[in-house]
């Protein structure tokens, strides 16, 4: 039996792709490819399957109908260097094996994420956990100045503690989340798809989206057919809830969008009569906008 090899992916092994000021993503190893997905599926389906569907069609069928196990036959191992505040979001994806560098054993390098000026914006009025409109230049400059000053002061305190003999596991507590960490991250393809479906989403924090873009690009090199299906049936899908289906039925019957939302119980205004900026009704109108936008 010969180990599957994908030349495009093999060329990426060990290549560090920069992200943010000091971070990177590198593909360390992989197991399996698109053929491994098909092979696993046909064990379940039995003989004769190939005469019914070609390989690409089978992969797309598996994705459409959420037959997840065949995708789990493909595995990836990445080396990732990232700010601690990004790592704390990333680690919430528990369906992976992670081994992080430990500041109990090693000394932290003097590298923190300064954040680009365009990244420092106001709190969003629609997304309670995200950022929205730009801030005045002086506010951006003041924040970035504070970030640099605090980070450098913290590292000087960290270095003084180490020089004074304070244990590394204690000295590290003064470092802010702007500093970097590094880990090996191993996951199968289906769990990678779940990670990407959340971290490529526009509602995800910008910094982790940048990492997700690189992870997706490297993952695609190993299993391009699977990623094609993922793009079409997961990333670009449009899901409708039960009330949204009722609203679509009302639209097809000739009702306006506002009338359809009222028929379906999808609110667009608050009790005081002011328009809503978020909620199920607003999200439904955004979905309609996607349907009406070519491409």
Whether 199 sits among the annotated catalytic residues: the reply is yes
Q: Are 261 and 281 in contact (CB under 8 A)?
A: yes
- Reference 219, options 75, 15, 41; nearest CA is 75
For 74, how many CA atoms within 13 A lie in the half-sphere containing its CB? 31
What's the full length of the chain, in residues? 295
Q: Are 130 and 205 in contact (CB under 8 A)?
A: yes
Contacts of 222 (CB under 8 A, 6+ apart): 6, 9, 27, 30, 32, 33, 74, 76
Catalytic pick from 199, 209, 290, 292? 199
Cα-to-chain-centroid distance, residue 65: 22
Catalytic site positions: 199
């Amino acid at each position: 039996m010969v180990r599957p090899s994908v030349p495009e992916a093999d060329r990426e092994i060990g290549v560090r792709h920069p992200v943010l000021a000091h971070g990177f993503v590198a593909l360390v190893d992989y197991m399996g490819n698109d053929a491994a997905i098909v092979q696993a599926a046909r064990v379940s389906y039995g003989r004769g399957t190939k005469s019914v569907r070609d390989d690409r069609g089978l992969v797309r069928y598996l994705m459409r109908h959420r037959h997840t196990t065949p995708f789990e036959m493909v595995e990836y191992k990445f080396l990732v260097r990232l700010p601690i505040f990004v790592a704390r979001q990333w680690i919430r994806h528990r369906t992976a094996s992670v081994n992080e560098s430990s500041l109990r054993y090693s000394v932290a390098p003097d590298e923190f994420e300064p954040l680009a000026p365009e990244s420092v914006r106001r709190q969003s009025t629609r997304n309670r956990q995200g950022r929205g409109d730009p801030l005045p230049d002086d506010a951006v400059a003041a924040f970035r100045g504070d970030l640099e000053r605090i980070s450098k002061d913290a590292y000087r305190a960290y270095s003084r503690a180490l020089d004074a003999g304070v244990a590394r596991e204690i000295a590290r507590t003064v470092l802010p989340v702007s500093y970097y960490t590094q880990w090996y991250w191993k996951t199968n393809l289906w769990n990678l798809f779940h990670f990407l479906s959340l971290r490529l989403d526009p509602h995800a924090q910008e910094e982790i989206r940048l990492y997700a873009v690189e992870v997706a690009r490297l993952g695609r090199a190993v299993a391009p057919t699977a990623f094609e299906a993922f793009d079409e049936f997961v990333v670009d899908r449009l899901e409708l809830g039960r009330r949204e289906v009722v609203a679509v039925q009302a639209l097809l019957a000739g009702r306006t969008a506002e009338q359809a939302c009222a028929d379906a119980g999808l609110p667009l205004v608050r009790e005081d009569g002011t328009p809503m900026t978020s909620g199920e009704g607003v999200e439904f109108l955004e979905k309609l906008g996607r349907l009406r936008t070519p491409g």
